[in-house]
Chains A and B, each alone.
Chain A
Amino acid sequence: MATLNDYLLASGLLFTVGFAGVLLRRNIIIIFMALELMLNAANLSLVGFSRFHTHAGLPDYNAQVLVFFIITVAAAEVTVGLAVIVALFRAKQTTHIEDLNSLKF
């Protein structure tokens, strides 16, 4: 049987993959997708804990409600983020992240 530690390990590795994607990729859409990976890794560990802490024979549904909210917020974030990227693309004609550096000193 898988233990909680295994699920946490899986979640952590998924997070690491996502974080590596954010650091190493140049295309902004790919970076955004890697960001989604990180969010989902957090969701996985939440669900794992929800199953682990049971009350009266039932899992702790507070964590599952939180996961629900996280999914919703992530969806909203993707919406607005992609709208921003589209607007940026219209302005700069590029999705390469190193070209988006107008906020330097």
Chain B
Amino acid sequence: MPTALFWIFVIFMLFFGVMVVVNRNPVASAMSLVVCFLGLAALYISLDAFFLGVIQILVYAGAVMVLFLFIIMLLDLKAEQRRHFNLIAMFGGIVVVVLFVKVLFDVCYGFQGGNAVFPAIHNTEHGDTWQVGMALFQQYKLPLQMIGALVVVASVGAVLLSKRELK
């Protein structure tokens, strides 16, 4: 993918990520997050991870964010009022963030190996969906089953937690 397109999608994603954090209206935050995931999916696709890009949209943007919106509606959250600022907490937060960014830049510029161009890929007759599927069902059978059990447990837990009274 041309570099320009890459950077457009990155700025797109980061902008809407910041929007998520900055917005006072929770619905607007959720919508920004959806668009951010779209940008992220585009980045996945630019990395030749087609399967994951689609999964990202389907699961995250389609299911998780819908769930978020359901909950926001359920709790009937209004836009936040301006509350008094806790300066110390803000200051602490900003300090940590700045430090983190600094470390990030140091690491990235110190990683010499990352400056190489991506190696070439030969397209085989099976797409990457097939490849991921094979890896999942052959090498990672057990984790797959565990994930299945995990999802079932989560569902049961969600049902239990939302009961009015635990009988």
Determine whether A and B are in direct contact in the complex, meaning some CB atoms lie less than 8 angstroms apart: yes
Give the interface of A toward B (CB within 8 A). Answer: 1-10, 12-14, 16-21, 23-27, 29-30, 32-34, 36-37, 40, 43-44, 47-48, 50-52, 54, 57-59, 61-62, 64-65, 67-69, 71-80, 82-87, 89-90, 95
**Given A51-B47, A79-B155 in contact, is the A33-B100 Cβ separation under 8 Å?**
no
Question: Which single member of A9, A62, A64 contacts B108 (CB below 8 Å)?
Answer: A9
Question: Across the interface, do B74 and A86 meet the contact criterion of CB distance under 8 Å?
Answer: yes
What are some 29 contacts across the A-B interface (CB < 8 A)? A2-B6, A3-B114, A4-B113, A5-B111, A5-B114, A12-B107, A13-B14, A18-B17, A21-B21, A27-B80, A30-B20, A40-B40, A44-B44, A47-B44, A47-B49, A48-B47, A50-B47, A58-B122, A59-B48, A59-B121, A64-B52, A72-B147, A73-B150, A78-B68, A80-B157, A85-B75, A86-B162, A87-B162, A90-B164
In the complex, what residues of B have CB within 8 A of residue A82's CB?
67-68, 71, 158
In the complex, what residues of A have CB within 8 A of residue B14's CB?
10, 13-14, 17
Question: Across the interface, do B21 and A20 meet the contact criterion of CB distance under 8 Å?
Answer: yes
Closest to A54 in B: B119
In the complex, what residues of B have CB within 8 A of residue A47's CB?
43-44, 47, 49, 52
**Given A8-B114, A37-B17, A76-B150 in contact, is the A68-B52 Cβ separation under 8 Å?**
yes
State the main secondary structure of chain A at its contact with B.
helix
CA distance A58 to B86 in the complex (A): 51
Q: What's the nearest-Cβ distance from chain A to residue B141, in Å? A: 11
CA distance A59 to B47 in the complex (A): 10
Interface range on chain B: under 10, 10 to 19, 20 to 34, or 35 or more? 35 or more
Question: Across the interface, do B64 and A36 meet the contact criterion of CB distance under 8 Å?
Answer: yes
Closest to A32 in B: B68
For residues 36 through 76 of chain B, which have their beta carbon under 8 Å from a beta carbon of chain A?
A: 36-37, 40, 43-44, 46-49, 51-52, 55-56, 59-60, 63-64, 67-68, 71-72, 74-75
